[in-house]
Structure 1
């Protein structure tokens, strides 16, 4: 067991330790430049997904909005509450600026990876779509790279389907116990039952549930934060200055100055918005849309919501409070809870605990779907999916009930590191293809087409599922 632990520790050091974060940043800047700063060009268009007329014509299909909310539910989690607090504690206020910066870069990366997932998606016998980096590798790079797709799928199942679901269960059970005194056992039973009911219902039920709980949790958290900001509106200009000054080393809040702010901001930002990690494209591919790039734009919007909106809310609540002490040794969730209580009173701690429950639950069902989608790349056997569903329910229960259970899933972060490296390799190899469909999207807009449509016949050399792109 010690040898296995050491092996995964080395993998984690080789990926997250020194190489992966610089690669994600450099590739993100490179993609931003090659796509012509696409995240800025289509920023206004991102909000169109919230309009009813952009929904799927098929009432049984996953709409663009449902895919957006499912991905937001996965991206927005404990990292937006606890992770941001840790970044500010260790990196100072300047970490917030670098989180913003990596979010804008990540929006372009997310657009590319999600557009590719849409392009190479496959229609299933039940009419639903499946796609993601694994299928992009198989159909975009060819059968010779199937081994790379299988490696990606195994890492996705291990990291998201199992490891991170245990962590989510542990997080929500701890928060509920701290706020309401409810034993972990009862929280674990409740989470397991709810998760089972939803995941055994398949992607349709997962999407429908996310369509309800994600707006509730996000809007509720944002409203609480806006109240805090409005109460302290006169202090906001000086706070923005403090964030920028600390980010560039003009002021130093913690040891390490600009370096600490940069490292913490980039790391926590990437963990939070997941751009380039290869997870969200699996959800992006489920949407029934007219053109791959339109869902790419939607997923770029998901990154914006996660970091620029939700993470910023947490940062402002903490930095405007009298609780924050740079470099202090304090749990991230506790710091956020204490900061809310400082502004709004002790009742807000309970409100945050409930929101954390929704955050974590939406992430659990999102993580499950990532695992299921990856499993279909490895095997077509239906019993394998049912087995995975059962295992996920058990993992959620164990993660919630046993405080030390998450230590068993030490492999999650290293596997996500491998996952991200494989995804980045695929993105860069398929980037020319993405630039082709992006050009097609832009040309249609220039010609006056309000909602561009992909014509598979315009790309005869690509292995596209023609049945997935019916002309409308």
Structure 2
């Protein structure tokens, strides 16, 4: 089975997907006139401003829900893996995919807002690629094809976010705790399952509240302490930056043989970390209460910067500046060692969170392992919670109108019963990931990310036009000194059924949603 999964992963993450991710980012950047640069001040302003309602969360909460999904083990173990198999140059390609991916994120997240709907059970906002893939062209002859496309994406997302991706997070968390405190990975898995069960059973609102409290705190705390380590080794920075750029293009003799690996691992781990184009961001974006879809598109574009340019960079420079790295030739740690920083012990050290733990230990001896273990506990837990929300959203899409039907001989509706099945499945995945090997967990995670990225990027390349209409409308209204309000009919955007019944001035539906009481 392990050999089969490795082969499947190789096909999914071929050079074609690497090219698709980079090319799509370049195309969206030019089409949006580099919105990821022009609108940075507006991104920051919108990040802290916004309304919430019984149906939707605030822009900031949606941002933190999105960051909860983006900021996870990819920011620590993922960066270590990219450096180990792609060399320091992989960091450059992580930055590249983040810069280009911010425009991709804007497009997908704006589409997520435009085509969001109300949940049939809770009347909360839901949306994402499955929704815009099935709705955007519903008025055309291609409607049946895209309806199937949306169903396929929803099924893949339930599989990826419900079963494949959580195992990577729980594995890194369990390994870090074992390295720091000697905990059995079994106990780490059981503890995670208990905490996770309490949060996800509370629904979207509890998820948003938890994320809005934990994510900003943990991100700032981690970045500050990582930068303290980096600035302690400030004299090394000029040489490290030169090494990153030189090895990214094969100009460094030590890493010239793995320039292709630098690109592949940089893009691969960059997308795993910031998720631009993967199709996860639009789920959180759709949950926000905003008067114009472009507002949340801009906020989510900024989330890519926070994830990669801030947090991943902090980890990368921490590992490089302390010398806590080894670079291998090939796709595994069994390959020949090309270069190493000298801080890792001569004994075999598994590629992953241990690299960051040893890096921290160079300044705070004995405390580094604990700090990384605690950071990963928060990072990974919030990511798993975000995965659950995305899996649940796509499960709702697959169920459709049947969600409110009652199940004969079983209490509750179809939707509530299948939700409990999904909750049980993700808890099992978390436990399984905690006790599996890192290689197995990462392979499953890469398969999930790759499948979603293929489907979503192709989809938004076809459906992108409404996102640009929304952007132009937003900028036109801002130039006129207005607080932008969205009217899809005036813009010629069809099938945005939620917005057609919504009055952004009052924040209420023209035809009120049914009461839950």
Normalised to the residue count of structure 2, the TM-score between the two structures is: 0.85
In structure 1, what is the equivalent of residue 66 of structure 2? 71
Q: Distance in 2 between matches of 1:47 and 1:59?
A: 25
Indicate if the aligned counterparts of 1:78 and 1:360 stay in contact, CA closer than 8 A: yes
Q: Could you tell me how far 1:9 is from its partner in structure 2?
A: 5.4
Indicate if the aligned counterparts of 2:469 and 2:491 stay in contact, CA closer than 8 A: no
* TM-aligned CA distance change 1:224 to 1:204, over 3 Å: same
Indicate if the aligned counterparts of 1:122 and 1:129 stay in contact, CA closer than 8 A: yes
- Where 1:384 maps in the other structure, the secondary structure is helix
1:111 is the counterpart of 2:112 = no
Matches within 5 A, 1:315-334: 315-327=316-328, 328=337, 330=349, 331-334=351-354
Q: Could you tell me how far 1:338 is from its partner in structure 2?
A: 0.8
* TM-aligned CA distance change 1:11 to 1:405, over 3 Å: closer
Indicate if the aligned counterparts of 2:89 and 2:245 stay in contact, CA closer than 8 A: yes
1:96 is the counterpart of 2:84 = no
Normalised to the residue count of structure 1, the TM-score between the two structures is: 0.92
Higher helix share: 1
When structure 1 is superposed on structure 2, of 85-94 and 97-106 the one drifting more is 85-94
Match of 1:87 among 82, 85, 92: 82
Q: Could you tell me how far 1:24 is from its partner in structure 2?
A: 0.9
Indicate if the aligned counterparts of 2:66 and 2:285 stay in contact, CA closer than 8 A: yes
Q: Could you tell me how far 1:195 is from its partner in structure 2?
A: 0.8
Matches within 5 A, 1:49-448: 49-51=46-48, 54-58=49-53, 61-124=56-119, 126-142=122-138, 143-144=143-144, 145-327=146-328, 328=337, 330=349, 331-379=351-399, 380=403, 381-382=414-415, 383-400=417-434, 402-403=435-436, 407=440, 412-448=445-481
* TM-aligned CA distance change 1:133 to 1:162, over 3 Å: same
In structure 2, what is the equivalent of residue 17 of structure 1? 14
Q: Distance in 2 between matches of 1:417 and 1:281?
A: 17
* TM-aligned CA distance change 1:239 to 1:170, over 3 Å: closer
Deviations 1:105-128 (A, max 9, x none): 000000000000000001235442
Q: Distance in 2 between matches of 1:110 and 1:326?
A: 31
Q: Distance in 1 between matches of 2:6 and 2:89?
A: 29
Q: Distance in 1 between matches of 2:127 and 2:326?
A: 45
Structure 2's unaligned 5+ residue stretches are: 329-336, 338-347, 404-413, 507-517
Q: Distance in 1 between matches of 2:10 and 2:320?
A: 31
Indicate if the aligned counterparts of 2:219 and 2:311 stay in contact, CA closer than 8 A: yes
In structure 2, what is the equivalent of residue 459 of structure 1? 491
Indicate if the aligned counterparts of 1:99 and 1:268 stay in contact, CA closer than 8 A: yes
Q: Could you tell me how far 1:23 is from its partner in structure 2?
A: 0.5
In structure 1, what is the equivalent of residue 511 of structure 2? none
Find runs of 4+ consecutive structure 1 residues off by over 6 angstroms. Answer: none
Deviations 1:244-299 (A, max 9, x none): 22223332333525333223222221221111111111111111111111111111
When structure 1 is superposed on structure 2, of 158-167 and 146-155 the one drifting more is 158-167
Q: Distance in 2 between matches of 1:170 and 1:91?
A: 22
Q: Distance in 1 between matches of 2:429 and 2:317?
A: 34
- Where 2:76 maps in the other structure, the secondary structure is helix
Q: Could you tell me how far 1:393 is from its partner in structure 2?
A: 1.9
Q: Distance in 1 between matches of 2:438 and 2:425?
A: 15
Indicate if the aligned counterparts of 1:160 and 1:412 stay in contact, CA closer than 8 A: no
Structure 1's unaligned 5+ residue stretches are: none
Q: Distance in 2 between matches of 1:90 and 1:399?
A: 22
Deviations 1:210-231 (A, max 9, x none): 1111122211111111211222
Q: Distance in 2 between matches of 1:153 and 1:246?
A: 39
Indicate if the aligned counterparts of 2:165 and 2:448 stay in contact, CA closer than 8 A: no
When structure 1 is superposed on structure 2, of 276-285 and 182-191 the one drifting more is 182-191
Q: Distance in 1 between matches of 2:274 and 2:32?
A: 20
* TM-aligned CA distance change 1:5 to 1:324, over 3 Å: closer
Deviations 1:152-185 (A, max 9, x none): 0111011111111122222212221221122223
In structure 1, what is the equivalent of residue 505 of structure 2? 471
Q: Could you tell me how far 1:461 is from its partner in structure 2?
A: 4.7
* TM-aligned CA distance change 1:412 to 1:452, over 3 Å: same
Q: Distance in 2 between matches of 1:167 and 1:85?
A: 14
* TM-aligned CA distance change 1:348 to 1:271, over 3 Å: same
Indicate if the aligned counterparts of 1:123 and 1:468 stay in contact, CA closer than 8 A: no
1:30 is the counterpart of 2:27 = yes
Q: Distance in 2 between matches of 1:371 and 1:47?
A: 29
Q: Distance in 1 between matches of 2:241 and 2:443?
A: 37
